[in-house]
Homo-oligomer: A and B are copies of this chain.
Amino acid sequence: MKFPATGPLLTDLYQFTMIQAYLDAGMVEEAVFEFFVRKLPQGRNFLIAAGLEQVLRYLESLVFSPQELEWLERAGGFNRRFIDYLAELRFAGEVHAMPEGTAFFPNEPILRVTAPIPVAQLVESRIINLLNFETLIASKAARCVLAAPGKFLVDFGLRRAHGAEAGLLASRASYLAGFSGTSAVLAGAELDIPVFGTMAHSFIQAHATEREAFAHFAAARPRNVTFLIDTYDTEAAAQKVVDLAPALLAQGVSIRSVRLDSGDLAAHAFKVRRILDAGGLARVGIFCSGGLDEYALRDLLSGGAPIDGFGVGTALDVSADSPCLDAAYKLQEYAGQARRKRSEGKATWPGRKQVYRRFAGDGTIAGDMLTLESDPQEGAPLIVPVMRGGQRLAQESLARLRARAAAELARLPQELRRLEDCATPYPVEVSRSLRELAEELDRQPH
């Protein structure tokens, strides 16, 4: 590529057009933008915030190269004032956010950017691009975790993810939300996420016999071997594993599991479990994959299928039943004045906001209050400062984010843990101060 794939040209043209207009009009005062989700996708009762780490890295490293400026001037037709401004541009603003792993609800901001309006506007496209996707996947993964408590869950979706970055960030978001790991090697190398893998059908097919394929595979990687057993006849292959096991164990091979990837997984799992148990392989687990999602996990487990782990691929990495969020990054304040978008069906709550959360006696979450930052309410504030003067205030490890997400899932009331829409959505109240501000703005001329 001629230009960095995640550099400042990864934005919408109108951001640049607006920046030039702001500069020409001398409008460079402080703006406040907030990112929030307007409504939950169907079937979702909560979302898990994710992607902040990537947003902060993007903001820290925001700089235009001479090549990028040259392109904007030549092909974009922007003026000298604009080019000079971009040449000096760095993100030196403030960011407030809900920490990654936090459960959140519609209209609650999970990120607030405070910076001169040309800068705060420029970063919109990439901020939405990152938060929308990682939050989407973390939320989908959390549903799988709720559907298969205590099971070994692996992200298998790299190949069906939408491009390279989606594959990497889906691994991150799903691990954050409670998955055990991923099949994507880059996620291990780059982010220290545990990487797991088995074998492909092609490996079996390339050999004259399934038995030979199993033997070659075990010899090459003798620790914690998983055999793929559905290439030809699942139960026959399970019996082959039993037959091979004594010789393999004698060679020091440890067999972790067998993998089923097609057909009626529950029926096969019951039969395979009996074959393995009868063959002395009671400690060899059954791992399933193949078009699974949180509903399939729930149904397999509620039917008592003896399955120890799941590879979840496409449905997770593209959030198949809901591949996007109705998310927005909206201007809430400019030059000290609160602002409100009033478009039909898309009105926003104005000003710098905070969310206060209340808890029930058993520790579960009981209700949120959306309010102005200047008007504290009862409960725990969820939005904290994370960057000041363009400098991060702290960095949390992925392990810590993962622990937070687990704690958040544990605090969800039963009603919100369902895979279907709950009868009574989680209560998010809007404070009186915020309502009054919105009404006041609606009375202003425009």
| Other-chain contact of A323, B165, B231, B320 (Cβ < 8 Å) | B320
User: How far, in angstroms, from A413 to B134 measured CA to CA in the complex?
Assistant: 41
Q: Name the residue of chain B whose CB is nearest to the CB of A183.
A: B12
Choose one: B68, B130, B133; the contact of A189 (CB below 8 Å). B68
The answer on a CB contact under 8 Å between A221 and B17 is yes
Q: Which of B9, B21, B219, B261 is within 8 Å of A221, CB to CB?
A: B21
**In the complex, A6 Cα to B5 Cα: how many Å?**
10
Q: Is A365 among interface residues, defined by CB-CB distance under 8 A?
A: no
0/1 interface trace, chain A 306-335, chain B, CB 8 Å (1 if under): 000000001000111001110100110010
A206 / chain B contacts, CB cutoff of 8 Å: 22, 27, 31, 117, 331, 334, 339
By CB atoms of chain B within 10 A, which of A164, A200, A208 has the most?
Answer: A164
Which of A341-349, A352-360, A383-391, A426-434 lies at the interface with chain B?
A: A341-349
The reply to whether A201 and B330 contact each other, CB–CB distance below 8 Å, is yes
Q: How far is the CA of A93 from the CA of B364 in the complex (A)?
A: 58
Given contacts A10-B186, A331-B206, contact A20 B221 (CB under 8 A): yes
A131 shortest CB reach to chain B, Å:
10
B10, B11, B33, B161: the one within 8 Å of A162 (CB): B161
**Cβ contact of A324, chosen from B203, B314, B344, cutoff 8 A:** B314
Q: Which of A103-111, A166-174, A278-286 contacts B (4 or more CB under 8 A)?
A: A166-174
Q: How many residues of A contact B (CB 8 A)?
A: 108
Q: Is the CB of A205 within 8 A of B17?
A: no
- Chain B residues within an 8 Å CB radius of A331: 201-202, 205-206
Structural contact, A71 and B165, CB atoms closer than 8 A:
no
A199 at the interface (CB under 8 A from B): yes
**How many copies of this chain sit in the oligomeric assembly?**
2
* Cβ of A67 to closest chain B Cβ, rounded Å: 9
- Assess whether B165 is in contact with A5, with CB atoms less than 8 Å apart: yes
From B12, B167, B327, B342, contact of A10 by CB (8 A): B167
Please, how many angstroms separate the alpha-carbon atoms of A185 and B19 in the complex? Answer: 14
Q: Is A371 an interface residue (CB 8 A)?
A: no
A21 close to B446 (CB less than 8 A): no
Would A162 and B160 be within 8 Å (CB), given that A18-B199, A209-B445, A230-B344 are in contact? no
A342 to B6 alpha-carbon distance, docked (Å): 42
> CB of A250 within 8 A of chain B?
no
Closest to A154 in B: B13
List of B residues within 8 angstroms of A216 by Cβ: 21-22, 24-25, 27
The A136-189 residues at the B interface (CB cut-off 8 A) are 156, 158-170, 183-186, 188-189
What are 19 A-to-B residue pairs whose CB atoms are below 8 Å?
A: A6-B164, A9-B185, A9-B189, A12-B183, A12-B184, A16-B185, A17-B198, A18-B200, A75-B188, A129-B160, A129-B163, A129-B164, A133-B162, A209-B446, A262-B346, A263-B343, A314-B324, A318-B323, A318-B324
